[in-house]
């Protein structure tokens, strides 16, 4: 019997790797003779690069860049040989292609966790450091970049990133503006004459589970701005400033409808900035991750799959790890069960995607603090309960 364990992280309590280890121990307790394959996953958000680099061949590069507030931060990203798949290994007889590919998270340079809560100021934060990471990868010979969006501290529409790549935003007097949201309403022209030519040649696969457009009630400002510190009374003004910004960008680059592209509102509008200033394509984060990890090949000999995430609700069916894993299992006709910190209204939609059953970690009433503190113990107990039910079902047959 082969069991594949392929969860997302349980945000705030357990990493995907920890969930894998715990569920694997539970599997060995219930099925001592089973072969267990651990595949920690992510959906393109924060932590995606780390998850991929734990499996793919390559190296981690460390680089100093500007953080969201302009202070230096240390960012890390992966460099792997082309084509980056989990089975790619170089031998003297079969050397790998020398083309390099970069795998990075924007959160490593422009993430919310890099800014202490008391210092968070979205109006004076930008994605300059993400642009610096992109340029560094190009300077290292990378000819394709996989960039995960999520966990951003910013809502600058990619303005800072574009500035790092060479774009200059000018006011009505032709003077350069600081590339941050506080300056958006003053943009009169976007000068792309100094834009690094490499960014138009190097493809960037943008990994995201967000389909939001840039503007409006479902856009970057209204949906994600409040959690980054934008006061409710300033949301309308900020959205108008973002609209003015993208008007100027689309005009300067002669690109239309960037603002309407699915995912353009991801990471505070960084999705839009990438589509505008670079050779980017926004792709499903989980589908890209599953492809790079050759997930379907692992399923070919699997008898059972266990996935999971911290909270399962109606949103879990839209671009999240659990839905992605379940859909592939459904195609291969393999039962797929999910562990979850909590199971909320709407999670039932996952049954249509291929989830066979769901098991919450907590089996008694307790506080959130207690649930987080006891996450490892609760995860193990839940996995054992789930697997014993599976075993009983096998015996009934």
pLDDT digits (tens, 9 = 90+) for 129-162: 999 999 999 999 999 999 999 899 999 999 999 9
pLDDT in tens, 202-232: 999 999 988 999 999 999 999 999 989 899 9
Fold of 48-285: Glycerate kinase, domain 2 (3.90.1510)
d(C-alpha 142, C-alpha 197), whole Å: 15
pLDDT of residue 365: 66
d(C-alpha 152, C-alpha 164), whole Å: 17
pLDDT of residue 370: 81
The CATH number given to 2-40+303-395 is 3.40.50.10350
d(C-alpha 102, C-alpha 96), whole Å: 16
d(C-alpha 222, C-alpha 229), whole Å: 11
pLDDT of residue 150: 87
Q: Any residues with CB less than 8 A from the CB of 299 and at least 6 apart, and which?
A: 4, 305, 328, 329, 332, 334
For the chain, helix, strand, coil in percent to 5 are: 45, 20, 35
Q: Which residues of the chain have pLDDT under 70?
A: 83-91, 93-98, 365, 396-397
pLDDT of residue 89: 58
pLDDT of residue 181: 97
pLDDT of residue 81: 87
The residues spanned by each domain of the chain are: 2-40+303-395, 48-285
pLDDT of residue 4: 97
How far does the chain reach from its first CA to its final CA, in angstroms? 16
């Amino acid at each position: 019997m082969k069991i594949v364990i392929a969860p997302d992280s349980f945000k705030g309590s357990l990493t995907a790797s920890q969930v894998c280890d715990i569920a694997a121990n539970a599997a060995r307790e219930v099925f001592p003779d089973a072969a267990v394959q651990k595949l920690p996953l992510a959906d393109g958000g924060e932590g995606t690069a780390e998850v991929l680099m734990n499996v793919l061949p390559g190296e981690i590069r460390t680089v100093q860049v500007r953080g969201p507030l302009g202070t230096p931060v240390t960012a890390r990203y992966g460099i792997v040989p082309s084509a980056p798949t989990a089975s790619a290994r170089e031998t003297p007889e079969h050397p790998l292609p020398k083309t390099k590919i970069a795998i990075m998270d924007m959160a490593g340079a422009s993430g919310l966790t890099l800014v202490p809560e008391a210092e968070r100021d979205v109006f004076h934060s930008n994605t300059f450091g993400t642009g610096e990471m992109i340029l560094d990868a190009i300077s290292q010979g990378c000819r394709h970049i996989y960039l995960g969006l999520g966990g951003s501290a910013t809502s600058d529409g990619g303005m800072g990133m574009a500035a790092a790549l060479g774009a200059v935003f000018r006011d009505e007097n032709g003077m350069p503006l600081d590339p941050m949201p506080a300056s958006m309403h003053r943009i009169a022209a976007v000068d792309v004459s100094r834009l690094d030519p490499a960014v138009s040649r190097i493809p960037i696969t943008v990994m995201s589970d967000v389909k939001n457009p840039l503007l409006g009630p479902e856009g970057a400002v209204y949906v994600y701005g409040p959690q980054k510190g934008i006061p409710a009374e300033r949301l309308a003004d900020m959205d108008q400033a973002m609209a003015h910004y993208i008007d100027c960008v689309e005009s300067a680059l002669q690109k239309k409808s960037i603002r309407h592209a699915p995912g353009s509102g991801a990471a505070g509008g960084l999705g839009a900035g990438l589509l505008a200033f670079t050779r980017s394509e926004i792709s499903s984060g989980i589908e890209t991750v599953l492809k790079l990890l050759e997930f379907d090949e692992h399923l070919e000999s699997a008898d059972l799959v266990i996935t999971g995430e911290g909270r399962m609700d109606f949103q879990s069916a839209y671009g999240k790890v659990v839905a992605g894993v379940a859909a592939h299992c459904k195609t291969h006709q393999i039962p797929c069960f999910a562990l979850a910190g909590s199971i909320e209204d709407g999670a039932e939609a996952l049954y249509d995607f291929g989830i066979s059953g769901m098991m919450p970690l907590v089996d008694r009433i307790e506080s959130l603090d207690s649930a987080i503190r006891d996450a490892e113990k609760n995860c193990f107990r839940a996995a054992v309960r789930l697997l014993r039910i599976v075993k009983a079902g096998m015996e009934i047959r």
